[in-house]
Amino acid sequence: MKQLDQQVARRLTRFYVMALTVIAVLSVSGLLFIRRTISTHYADSRVVNVAGRQRMLSQRLTKLAVLRTTGLSSADTVSFDSLLHSWSQTHMQLRNGILAMEQAYMVRKSATLDSMFTRIEPAFRSIYKSFIRINNPQTTPADQQKALQIILKDEPAFLQQMNDIVFQFDTESFGRVKQLERIEWILTIATLLTLVIEGLFIFRPVVNYTKLIIHRLDRSEKTLQLVNRDLDVANRELAATNQNLAASNRKLVDTQQELLRTTEEKYQLQLAEDTVRSAALLEGQEEERRRFARELHDGIGQMLTGLKLHAEKLKSVSFPDEKHRLRFAELCDMIADTIQTTRQVSYNLMPSTLSDFGLGPTLQLLAEQTTRSAGIDVLFEGNRDGERLSPAMEIGLYRIAQEALHNAIKYAEAKTIQINLQQNPDKLVLLVSDNGKGFSVKTPSKVDKPLPMVNGLENMRTRSRLLNGELTIVSKPKKGTTVTVTVNLS
């Protein structure tokens, strides 16, 4: 019996697949054919409209030619040249079989249309040449009158033949639509015939077989009811056991939730402590840099400046030996280089332009100084007169840009670096990108633990997190690196 059921099932499945495949093929074929015919019919409609427009354009050109020849004014402001170019170009496209509008349309022509275009060509050429002569400023009035007479003589024949061409286009398009209707009827009849065959040879055997299965299921149901009574008693005992297990599970879940809550509170407390510690370390670091920069500028810098002034006074003293004069000149140059280096170190420790002019001008100055010192192109784009930020935010963003620039020069071996600063009332975006050799970016941990400042990248991440910003690093080997800091100002 089991083998018989499998044989019947396989046979019915095969019949179903065959019937449904035939219906699907017929339906899809009909849809594809109708879609293709509708597309071509739309192209035919565009061709008919354009061909009909040719008659209007020729009449309009004739009117403008009469007005230009007689010297009368007209309210028609269209350019004669553009109108003539459009008329002649459309005629050649219709004749050649490709109509260029918002897209290229295929002009489907029969042998009749080809012969009609051949017959209309002499009249078109005669009218077109006459229009050219009238439009030529060097043509004499007498030649313009002759050209106008030619236009008035040949235009009726051109309009009549163009009218026949339009009707021939329309007739052929209508014939293609009728052909589509006939094919639709054939596909519909084939689909209906397939459904009738499926009903006779597939659905009827399925109905008979279903009746047999239902009869067998009815007998099995009575046996199943007796078994269900026994199972009902066992289910009641199992339900009581499940209730006891559920009570135990609830207690276990409550204990786990309490443990998770305690762990989360401990983690948040540790995160807050680490954040405060990192902020304090960075603030102390910046304060120490500020103090050291002030000491360099006000202490050593002033002493070096005084030394330079004393040395400048000694330049007027004549030296008995030329070697002594050269050594003194080298000493003066060395003092000047030392002053410049001291000023640069003081500026790098704490740039004075940051507090005086803001983040934008300071980043621009950083790009210019790096270009001079490193010998590579460093470009700055962005807001130079944006709204001032808090001192902590300005120094934090400046340090991130400084660190990204340092990494690009030292490790990436970049040839071009671009710094971009975009600021609006709601958001600030700082971007540093280079064309260096790049590196593989490791996927950050899902747990947002505070990052120790052991290298430049972690230092930038820590500063971004303390500014309530988001740091994104995009890099691939040999594809360059892009560092983006986004701070929500609202």
Question: Can you list the positions of beta strands (E) in 102-201?
Answer: 104-106
Distance (Å, whole) CA 85 – CA 91: 10
What is the tens place of the pLDDT at every residue in 145-200?
888 899 889 889 888 988 888 888 888 888 887 887 888 888 888 888 888 887 77
- Return the pLDDT at 462: 86
Average confidence (pLDDT) over 337-349: 67
* Phi, psi dihedrals of residue 86, rounded to the nearest 5°: -65, -40
Q: Which of 74-88, 248-262, 272-286, 418-432 shows the highest mean pLDDT?
A: 418-432
DSSP string, 221-289: HHHHHHHHHHHHHHHHHHHHHHHHHHHHHHHHHHHHHHHHHHHHHHHHHHHHHHHHHHHHHHHHHHHHH
Instruction: Report how far residue 62's alpha carbon sits from residue 123's, in angstroms, rounded to the nearest whole number.
Output: 14
Between 111-135 and 141-198, two packed helices, what is the crossing angle to 10 degrees? 150
Mean pLDDT, residues 103-117 taken together: 84
Classify each residue of 86-95 as buried b or exposed e, where b means 16 or more C-beta atoms within 10 Å of its C-beta: bbbebbebbb
Q: Which two tokens stand for residue 88?
A: 């002649």
d(CA 386, CA 381): 13
Residue 464, C-beta contacts closer than 8 angstroms, at least 6 positions apart: 396, 400, 470, 471, 485, 487
CATH of 12-211, one of 2.30.29, 1.20.120, 1.10.1060, 1.25.10: 1.20.120
pLDDT band with cut points at 50, 70 and 90 for residue 271: low
Confidence of residue 454 (pLDDT cuts 50, 70, 90): very low
Whole-Å CA distances, 271 to 274, 275, 281, 452, 477: 5, 6, 15, 12, 34
Write down the domain spans for the chain: 12-211, 355-488
Flag whether pLDDT at 221 surpasses 50.
Answer: yes
Mean pLDDT, the chain, integer: 79
Quick one: which H or E segment has residue 349? Answer: helix 322-349
Beta-carbon contacts of residue 220 (< 8 Å; ≥ 6 apart): none
The DSSP bridge partners found for residue 434 are 417, 481
pLDDT, residue 179, reads 81
Residue of higher predicted confidence among 153 and 314? 153
Query: Given a cut of 50, is residue 453 above it in pLDDT?
Result: no
Q: How many CB atoms within 10 Å of residue 277? A: 11
Nearest to 22 by CA among 254, 198, 286: 198
The mean per-residue pLDDT over the stretch 344-356 comes to: 69
Tell me how far apart the alpha carbons of residues 50 and 43 are, in angstroms, rounded to a whole number: 11
CB 424, CB 474: distance < 8 Å: no
Query: Where does the pLDDT of residue 235 fall: very low under 50, low under 70, confident under 90, or very high at 90 and above?
Result: confident
What percentage of residues in the chain have a pLDDT greater than 70?
79
Rounded to the nearest angstrom, the gap between the alpha carbon of residue 131 and the centroid of all alpha carbons in its chain is 49
Place of tokens 């009581």: 240
Under DSSP, is residue 481 helix (H, G, I), strand (E, B) or coil? strand
| Alpha helices (H) along 71-140 | 80-96, 111-135
Name the CATH architecture for the domain at 355-488: 2-Layer Sandwich (3.30)
Residue 121 is classified by DSSP as H
Rounded CA gap, 295 and 316, in Å? 32
Nearest to 389 by CA among 367, 418, 362, 364: 362
Distance CA 396, CA 283 (A): 10
pTM beyond 0.75: the answer is no
Max Cα distance, the chain (Å) = 134
- What confidence tens digit (pLDDT) does each residue in 397-412 have? 888 988 888 888 888 8
- The larger pLDDT score, comparing residue 24 to residue 146, is at 146
Q: With pLDDT > 90 as the criterion, what percentage of the chain qualifies?
A: 6
Identify the pLDDT of residue 284.
64
